[in-house]
Amino acid sequence: MWAVAVHIGAGRHAADAASTALAEASMRDALETAGRLLRDGASATTAATAAVHVLEDAACTNAGSNGPCVNLTETGVVETDASIVDGHSGGIGCV
Handedness of CA 9, 15, 77, 53 (dihedral sign): positive
Tens of pLDDT, residues 11-34: 665 678 888 888 899 999 999 999
Neighbours of 23 (CB within 10 A): 17
* pLDDT top residue among 37 and 60: 37
CB 4 within 8 A of CB 19: no
* Banded pLDDT at 47 (limits 50, 70, 90): very high
Which residues neighbour 90 within 8 Å (Cβ) at sequence distance 6 or greater? none
* Banded pLDDT at 42 (limits 50, 70, 90): very high
Alpha-carbon distances of 38 from 18, 26, 28, 57, rounded to whole Å: 30, 19, 15, 21
